[in-house]
Amino acid sequence: MHIPDGILSVPVWATLNAVAVPGIGWAVRQAKKGLAEGQVPLLGVMGAFVFAAQRMNFPVGFGTSGHLLGGAMLAMTMGPGAATIILSSILILQALLFQDGGLLALGANSVNMAIIGVWAGWAPYRMLASGGWRNAGVFAGGLLSVLASAAAAIVELRLSEVPMSPAVVGASSAVFLVTGVMEGLITVAVLQAVERLNPGWLRKPEGMPGRAAGLLATAALLMMIVGVLYISALPDGFESMAERLGVAGREQTVWAAPMAEYEASFLAGDWSRKALAGLAGLAVIYGICVTVGRLLVRQRSA
């Protein structure tokens, strides 16, 4: 699910970089609140743990095996903010050292896995664990974390006009579903084992609705993801969706349309404008990076 460079279109990767930077910046602030006196090395070591964990095989049967992906598990143990930082660091390292995912696509991969994946993994746990359905929440967390990341990746590929027939979307959704169920089961098993060693290593979700509300919200999240996957499978994708539904999911036009127009103006322009716009986008992202970084430093020293 690591998208390499050269696949996403310029507006798509540029937008996602612009989303990822403040997203991760926000996570840095969140995580700092939850960590004892700047215990930053813990985040790095836990990143190393995820690498190691991905080598531990869980037999599925039929001679195959799967392994932990870790986004949901990190959210449930280290907290979602810390998990976002850990996963985005892993993605940076994978892009640079292992050619696993691209450099320009870093924003896209971070949004998919380190932000959407983590929060989709955290939400069901937080909502169900305090309602007494802990394991259901953990399982749903693992499952939704994978499905939400996958759905986001598919949407990005569709928006980049990467060819994808409904059959392909359907087949990959099935694969992601199996992966997600595996992730849910492994996350449950690992979290139980971790709790046996030291219950203090689990984040305690507090002050959330009871079982019914939690289940409802989790189901809604699942429906949303399935919906996104379904729309992606439609032959004309997003652009015609609005017309086809008539009423047009308003939120969709809000976020899809400007992007489509952006892309259209890109396609119409000649190469130099396109490349310059890409560079300008990069410069803007860079500017945001530096500003967010400065602000963070200033806040800390203040």
Partner 1 sequence: MRDRAGKSLRIEEWARRDSFLHRRDARSKVLAVLVFLVAVSSTPPASPAVFVPIALPLAAGLLASGLPLGELLLRASIILPFPLFFGLVGWLENGNAQFAGALVARSYISALAVLLLAGVTPMAELFRGLRGLGLPAVMVMVLQSLVRYLQVIVDHGMRMRRAALCRDGGAGSRESLWRRASGALAVLFGRSYARAEGVHRAMIARGFRGDYVPLRPARITPLDWVFLAVAAMAAGGARYLAGVGL
Site for partner 1 in 214-243 (CB under 8 A): none
Please list every residue from 29 through 48 that binds partner 1, using CB under 8 A. Answer: 32, 37-48
Q: Does 165 bind partner 1 (CB under 8 A)?
A: yes
Q: Site size for partner 1, by CB under 8 A?
A: 87
Q: Does 202 bind partner 1 (CB under 8 A)?
A: no
Using CB under 8 A, pick the residue from 170, 211, 249, 274 that binds partner 1.
274
Binding mask 51-70 for partner 1 (x = CB under 8 A): xxxxxxxxx-x------x--
Using CB under 8 A, pick the residue from 18, 177, 194, 226 that binds partner 1.
194
Quick one: 243 or 270, whose CB is closer to partner 1?
270
- Cross-strand pairs, 65: 59
Using CB under 8 A, pick the residue from 155, 157, 225, 233 that binds partner 1.
157
Q: What's the chain's length in residues?
A: 302
- Shortest approach of partner 1 to residue 228 CB, angstroms? 19
Q: Does 7 bind partner 1 (CB under 8 A)?
A: yes
Q: Does 244 bind partner 1 (CB under 8 A)?
A: no
The one-letter amino acid code at 252 reads Q
Q: Does 279 bind partner 1 (CB under 8 A)?
A: yes
Q: Does 163 bind partner 1 (CB under 8 A)?
A: yes
- Shortest approach of partner 1 to residue 168 CB, angstroms? 5
Quick one: 35 or 242, whose CB is closer to partner 1?
35
Q: Which stretch binds partner 1 (CB under 8 A): 98-106, 173-181, 214-222, 249-257?
A: 98-106
With residues binned 3-state (H G I as helix, E B as strand, rest as coil), the percentages for the chain, rounded to 5, are 80, 0, 20
Helix H segments across 98-209? 106-109, 118-129, 134-159, 166-197
CA dihedral (196, 52, 113, 76) in degrees, to 10, reads 10
- Shortest approach of partner 1 to residue 209 CB, angstroms? 29
- Judged by DSSP in three states, 39 sits in coil
Please answer whether residues 54 and 74 qualify as being in contact, where contact means their C-beta atoms are separated by less than 8 angstroms: no
Please answer whether residues 131 and 214 qualify as being in contact, where contact means their C-beta atoms are separated by less than 8 angstroms: yes
Contacts of 31 (CB under 8 A, 6+ apart): 43, 79, 81, 82, 84, 85
- How far separated are the first and last CA of the chain, in Å rounded? 40
Quick one: 93 or 257, whose CB is closer to partner 1?
93
Please answer whether residues 114 and 154 qualify as being in contact, where contact means their C-beta atoms are separated by less than 8 angstroms: no
Using CB under 8 A, pick the residue from 16, 20, 75, 77 that binds partner 1.
77
Using CB under 8 A, pick the residue from 18, 19, 177, 189 that binds partner 1.
189
Distance CA 12, CA 263 (A): 9
- Cross-strand pairs, 61: 64
Using CB under 8 A, pick the residue from 26, 49, 230, 262 that binds partner 1.
49
- Name residue, tokens 């509300």: 213
